[in-house]
């Protein structure tokens, strides 16, 4: 999700969206690590972990779609990606004993999210400084999705290891995105430094003073 602005520009994230992205990023890291280190992995256990990961992804995408000041088209794409994540989360929960089927649903969700993320970064390139980093994030997600969906995973251990590492990486990038997104001082039009913003994100339950697109 592109969130990089010049110091005198209004934040792309609206009120409360940073906190949502940060919280879901932390959850993704926890789920990713659990997927990697879980003992005696079974298809049912890994499927449930994938489901929770995709639910976190859906919450993040929906929050940005409804609470950002991106254009209508990228917001619509992000909302579509959120719906796909919800659908594939349900399918992961009911994947049964098919490792390849589980991998296919996860790969599909990541591919759609990656496309939406990359397009959102390109679409608002003129007003979002540093969106190139977010385009790379989107392309990385798309690549991971294609690899997971196409690679012939013969056992659940290998799938869990690869997918868990990817989930952890995505969570770290979401945390970084939320922390690095500048916040405007309420009523003053002055941008906070990244360190000051981190304190604001963690301490403020009311969100930061971002503007919404007219």
Lowest mean pLDDT among 156-160, 169-173, 189-193: 189-193
**Band (133; pLDDT cuts 50, 70, 90):** confident
Q: Is the pLDDT score of 128 beyond 50?
A: no
Q: Is the pLDDT score of 130 beyond 60?
A: no
Mean pLDDT, range 6-18, rounded to an integer: 59
Give the integer Cα–Cα distance in Å for 132 and 135: 5
The confidence score (pLDDT) of residue 18 equals 85
Collect all residues with Cβ–Cβ distance below 8 Å to 75 and sequence separation of at least 6.
64, 65, 66, 68, 120
Which tokens hold the place of 173?
């990038």
């Amino acid at each position: 999700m592109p969130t990089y602005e010049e110091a005198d520009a209004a934040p792309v994230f609206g009120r409360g969206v940073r906190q949502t992205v940060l919280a879901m990023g932390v959850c993704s890291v926890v789920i990713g690590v659990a997927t990697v280190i879980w003992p005696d992995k079974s298809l049912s256990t890994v499927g449930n972990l994938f489901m929770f990961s995709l639910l976190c992804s859906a919450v993040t995408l929906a929050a940005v779609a409804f609470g950002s000041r991106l254009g209508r088209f990228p917001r619509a794409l992000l909302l579509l990606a959120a719906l796909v994540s919800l659908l594939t989360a349900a399918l992961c929960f009911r994947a049964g004993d098919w490792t390849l089927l589980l991998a296919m649903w996860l790969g599909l969700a990541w591919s759609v999210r990656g496309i939406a993320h990359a397009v959102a970064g390109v679409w608002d390139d003129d007003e979002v400084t540093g969106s190139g980093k977010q385009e790379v994030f989107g392309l990385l997600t798309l690549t991971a999705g294609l690899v997971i969906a196409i690679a012939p995973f013969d056992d659940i251990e290998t799938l869990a290891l690869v997918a868990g590492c990817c989930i952890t990486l995505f969570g770290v990038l979401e945390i970084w995105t939320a922390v690095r997104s500048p916040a405007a001082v309420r009523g003053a039009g002055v941008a906070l430094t990244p360190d000051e913003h981190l304190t604001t994100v963690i301490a403020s339950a009311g969100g930061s003073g971002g503007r919404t697109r007219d």
